[in-house]
Amino acid sequence: MNIAMNTLKLNSLAWNCAKALPCLFLLLGTVPAFAEGSRVVATGGGTTIEGSAGGGIVPWAVINGYGSSDEWSATAMATGVYVDDFTLNVIGASLSFDNRFELSLARQTFDLDTMGGELGQDIFGIKYKLAGELLYTAMPQITLGAQYKRVDDFAIPQAVGARSDWGLDVYIAASKVFFDAVAGRNVLLNGTVRATKANQTGLLGFGTQANNDYQFVLEASAAVLLTDNLALGIEYRQKPNELAFAREDDWQDVFLAWFINKHLSVVTAYANLGSIAGFADQQGWYVSVEGTL
Amino acid sequence: MSRLLLKLLPVAAWLFFTGCAVQKAESSAPQVNSKNSTSSQHTLYQALGGEVGLSAIVDGLLARIATDQRIVHHFQETDIALFRERAIEHFCLVADGGCVYHGENMALSHQGLNITQADFDALVGHLIESMKEQQIPLSTRNALLKRLAPMYSDITYH
């Protein structure tokens, strides 16, 4: 039963890849401006479950892809998160320019494996680099970002006490790579501050009947580049806990990212998402495949 | 799992910050001794293979620049033989090899060239590939990049 379930879950990731990657290659055919980006491999990071460049759950200050000054880059990704009682599937794409602007789209489907049913949301993200260069300046690279989110069907979020079916997260992120920092390896540190009204990142709507204020949450990542192409890291994401019907916990994960080349990367992680909608201790695997132009 | 992570966070933070602190101490110490330590095995210069190693790295870098349409135009009026000598001297100096660098400083020597971030990124990529071709270990490559990376502001957009 379990094996069948896991196979089913992995099949859905494969299916999402099959949907997401052709979009990328369609871009390859239609936009002649895409040459391989000039930035150093791995400096684009991965793509979060919300579509922005970063780790798995924390947006970083990096701009998606490998485009440097005056260069375009595009990415497409498919991600699956398989915890005890839920499955999150995400497909997403991004377009970036000048190593400064990033636009992203992500479509999340959240299967309520045990309860039955599903939730979903669409996320439109923008990101703008304010200052600093990840590799080259003493000042960290600092970016300002926003994520506009809207849930598919407000029935369940409303029933559990959410006020709105859409919300806007605004965040500022600072990232820096320290060369030769630990055992001759380069280290990336990232800190993000986010203003949000989202319950469970928005899957359970935004705000509550009792409280419609923005909450400020802290998110952090640290990674060591074991080789030029392999990064081992940890992430922590603080989350609001506003809905009365069930507790919401902070999220964390340990990840291994393999940047095979500037066109393909695979990120695997073990994530602890805590309590979700009354189901305690939700843990499981995260897999993300990303293509970059 | 969550307890493990909570324990890992401060350990990781400690590693990073002490790691950085140790590096600072190390990088300032050899500069004082650079003239005496050229025969020592401990300098970055030695780790890069000394004069022979650096020459091969610079030759590999030049070969990659020559075939890169993005940046080769910056070198159209460059005396390549002279550039090669200056680059080897400069890397030697940066790596505590005790060489005398006869060129102008980075800001002056790139004045008016309008080197972009993409140009700089491309050159960094070629340098990494050239060092890999010479079998320079990751930690040695990172140590050199650490010293070259801050030159970005002097080199670009002038």
Nearest beta carbon to residue A180 from set B70, B122, B142: B142
Find the closest chain A residue to B132 by CA distance: A228
CB contact (8 A) between residue A68 and residue B116: yes
**Does B56 share its domain with B19?**
no
- Angstrom distance (rounded) from CA A68 to CA A174: 18
**Does B29 share its domain with B77?**
no
> What is the distance of C-alpha A40 from the center of its chain?
21
- Angstrom distance (rounded) from CA A205 to CA A285: 24
**Does B17 share its domain with B95?**
no
Look up the domain containing A69 and give its range: 2-292
Mean pLDDT of A18-30: 61
Number of structural domains in chain B: 2
**Does B43 share its domain with B28?**
no
Task: Scan residues 98-127 of B and list those with Cβ closer than 8 Å to A.
Answer: 116-122, 124-125
For chain B, residues with pLDDT lower than 70 are 1-41
Look up the domain containing B133 and give its range: 37-155
Q: Could you give the angle at the alpha carbon of A37 between the alpha carbons of A192 and A232, nearest 5°?
A: 45
CB contact (8 A) between residue B153 and residue A137: yes
Find the closest chain B residue to A273 by CA distance: B2
**Does B13 share its domain with B54?**
no
The CATH number that applies at residue A14 is: 2.40.160.40
CB contact (8 A) between residue B153 and residue A189: no
Range with lowest mean pLDDT among A22-31, A147-156, A191-200, B119-128: A22-31
**Does B41 share its domain with B21?**
no
Which tens digit of pLDDT belongs to each residue from A192-234? 999 999 999 999 999 999 999 999 999 999 999 999 999 999 9
Number of structural domains in chain A: 1
CB contact (8 A) between residue B19 and residue A283: no
Which tens digit of pLDDT belongs to each residue from A234-254? 999 999 999 999 999 999 999
**Does B20 share its domain with B42?**
no
- Cβ-based contacts of B118 with chain A (< 8 Å): 38, 68-71
**Does B98 share its domain with B115?**
yes
**Does B5 share its domain with B47?**
no
**Does B71 share its domain with B96?**
yes
The CATH number that applies at residue B133 is: 1.10.490.10
CB contact (8 A) between residue B138 and residue A228: yes
Strand segments, DSSP code E, in chain A are 46-47, 53-54, 72-83, 87-97, 101-111, 118-131, 141-151, 162-164, 166-182, 185-196, 206-208, 215-225, 230-237, 251-259, 264-272, 283-292
Find the closest chain B residue to A177 by CA distance: B146
Q: What is the ipTM of this complex?
A: 0.87
